[in-house]
């Protein structure tokens, strides 16, 4: 298990909130620590949104707690009713993320009413807000992870794994069960890539030139993800219809293998070109292979060999060919985007060859 930046930030935020609460002589500093746990976020932008929502949610919890105690009391059934109303209001205001801390505020205020109930409620509310602001300060001071690097290396690692399996699949040199298990892991990786993409997208940019460059990078990262998904879809087709591949004519199977080898090689080169590890090839250096139209014509020729056009084997082969063609188109589009990016931002992509977990 690796200790990430968010784990350390959570610990530091708890320490800071408890220290400030004790420094201000709060009767319940633990509430500040609890609030800090709820408020810590992976990015500064999310932290900013969270502090706005937490202020609203805590105000709702505190106000309802005071109203219920003053008008009805603090019987356990009354507390339950107040909690239901707090949850309902938070959902109506579309700040459902604050429900947990709102309920903590509600319970901490309603638990011990007395003659000085209003000052008591104010102290409890302030203590909780100390935790919220402590988490925000920690997010500002401690730099968030570089999600651009994390995103690229997650896409690159997932793409490399898919490509290795495609190479083995076209040569029928793989373990069926192991590949099936790895396909599920690759699906999970694509989900995590989507999360990294959102976090990178949320990172704030304050200069117009940098903002424009990031906008173009976002388009490229989105296309990288789409291409990886299409590569995985091709891998799944090769895995699912392995038996159909074995029964294809040798010449047709060789053409499929050559097309896939060319496509995945091109894909690998693009991932490296984006970080400046591979120069943009000139036309004479471009890889020579059959194109998508020729591959489709080969399939039509293969189709004529079947007297029964409803043969499942033919239908499954068509799915494999269509997936390969679409994968190739996604790779070509990625090539266009990267080439366009470097025409505006020559040598401005700087990603160290070291992944930060």
Do residues 14 and 119 share a domain? Answer: yes
Do residues 316 and 275 share a domain? Answer: yes
Do residues 234 and 274 share a domain? Answer: yes
Do residues 117 and 261 share a domain? Answer: no
Task: Assess if residue 254 is contained within a domain.
Answer: yes
pTM higher than 0.85 for the full model? no
Do residues 170 and 293 share a domain? Answer: yes
Q: What is the largest CA-CA distance in the chain?
A: 93
How long a stretch of residues is the chain? 357
Span 215-226, pLDDT tens digits: 889 999 999 999
Inter-CA distances, 215 with 36, 49, 201, Å: 33, 22, 9
Task: Assess if residue 170 is contained within a domain.
Answer: yes
Do residues 104 and 249 share a domain? Answer: no
Do residues 129 and 163 share a domain? Answer: no
Task: Assess if residue 101 is contained within a domain.
Answer: yes
Long-range contacts of 119-124 (CB under 8 A, 24+ apart): 121/62, 121/65, 121/66, 121/69, 123/26, 123/27, 124/28, 124/31, 124/62
Q: H helices of the chain, where? A: 5-23, 30-39, 44-71, 76-92, 99-110, 117-141, 147-170, 176-202, 208-240, 242-246, 250-274, 292-303, 312-344
Task: Assess if residue 306 is contained within a domain.
Answer: yes
How buried is residue 222: exposed, middle or buried, by Cβ count under 10 Å (0-12/13-18/19+)? middle
CATH number at residue 333: 1.20.58.220
Per-residue DSSP letter, 2? -
Single out the residue in 141, 172, 194 at which a domain terminates: 141
Determine the Cα–Cα distance for residues 78 and 89; give it in Å rounded to an integer.
17
Task: Assess if residue 351 is contained within a domain.
Answer: no
User: Which pLDDT belongs to residue 150?
Assistant: 87
- Report whether 64 contacts 86 (CB < 8 A): yes
User: Which pLDDT belongs to residue 243?
Assistant: 78
Single out the residue in 125, 141, 157 at which a domain terminates: 141
Count of the separate structural domains present in the chain? 2
Q: Which domain holds residue 54?
A: 5-141
Do residues 164 and 117 share a domain? Answer: no
By three-state DSSP, how is residue 104 classified?
helix
Cβ of 25: how many Cβ atoms within 10 Å?
8
Task: Assess if residue 350 is contained within a domain.
Answer: no
Task: Assess if residue 356 is contained within a domain.
Answer: no
List CB contacts of 249: < 8 A, sequence separation 6 or more: 302
By three-state DSSP, how is residue 40 classified?
coil
Do residues 40 and 156 share a domain? Answer: no
* pLDDT (tens place) for every residue of the chain, 357 residues total: 455 667 888 888 899 999 999 998 888 888 889 888 888 877 777 777 788 888 888 899 989 998 888 888 888 899 899 999 999 999 998 888 888 888 988 888 887 766 677 888 888 888 888 988 898 888 877 766 678 888 999 999 999 999 999 988 888 777 778 888 899 999 999 999 998 898 888 776 655 566 778 888 999 999 999 999 999 999 998 888 877 777 777 777 787 888 888 889 999 999 998 888 877 664 444 444 556 666 666 656 655 555 555 556 666 777 888 888 889 889 989 999 998 888 876 655 556 544 434
- Report whether 68 contacts 111 (CB < 8 A): no
Task: Assess if residue 349 is contained within a domain.
Answer: no
User: Which pLDDT belongs to residue 348?
Assistant: 52
Single out the residue in 92, 125, 141 at which a domain terminates: 141
Do residues 137 and 245 share a domain? Answer: no
List CB contacts of 68: < 8 A, sequence separation 6 or more: 74, 78, 79, 81, 82, 110
Do residues 302 and 217 share a domain? Answer: yes
Do residues 114 and 238 share a domain? Answer: no
């Amino acid at each position: 298990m690796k200790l990430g930046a968010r784990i350390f930030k959570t610990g530091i935020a708890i320490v800071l909130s408890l220290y400030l609460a004790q420094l201000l002589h709060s009767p319940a500093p633990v509430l500040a620590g609890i609030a800090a746990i709820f408020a810590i976020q992976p990015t500064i932008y999310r932290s900013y949104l969270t502090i706005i929502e937490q202020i609203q949610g805590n105000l709702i919890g505190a106000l309802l707690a005071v109203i219920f105690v003053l008008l009805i009391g603090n019987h356990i059934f009354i507390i339950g009713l107040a909690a239901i109303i707090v949850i309902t209001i938070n959902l109506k205001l579309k700040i459902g993320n604050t429900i947990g801390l709102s309920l903590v505020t509600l319970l901490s205020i309603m638990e011990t009413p007395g003659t000085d109930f209003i000052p008591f409620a104010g102290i409890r509310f302030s203590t909780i807000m100390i935790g919220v602001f402590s988490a925000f300060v920690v997010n500002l001071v401690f730099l968030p992870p570089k999600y651009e690097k994390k995103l690229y290396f997650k896409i690159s690692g997932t793409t490399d794994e898919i490509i290795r399996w495609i190479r083995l699949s076209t040569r029928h040199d793989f373990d069926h069960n192991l590949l099936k298990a790895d396909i599920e892991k690759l699906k999970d990786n694509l989900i995590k890539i989507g999360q990294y993409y959102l976090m990178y997208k949320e990172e704030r940019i304050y200069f117009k030139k940098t903002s424009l460059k990031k906008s173009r990078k976002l388009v490229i990262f989105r296309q990288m993800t789409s291409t990886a998904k299409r590569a995985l879809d091709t891998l799944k087709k090769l895995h699912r219809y392995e038996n159909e591949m074995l029964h294809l004519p040798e010449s047709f199977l060789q053409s499929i293998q050559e097309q896939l080898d060319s496509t995945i090689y091109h894909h690998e080169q693009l991932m490296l070109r984006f970080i400046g590890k591979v120069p943009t090839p000139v036309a004479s250096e471009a890889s020579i292979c059959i194109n998508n139209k020729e591959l489709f014509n080969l399939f039509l020729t293969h189709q004529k060999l079947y007297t029964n056009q409803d043969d499942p084997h033919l239908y499954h082969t068509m799915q494999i060919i269509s997936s390969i063609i679409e994968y190739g188109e996604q790779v070509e589009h990625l090539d266009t985007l990267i080439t366009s990016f470097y025409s505006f931002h020559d040598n401005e992509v700087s990603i160290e060859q070291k992944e930060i977990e």
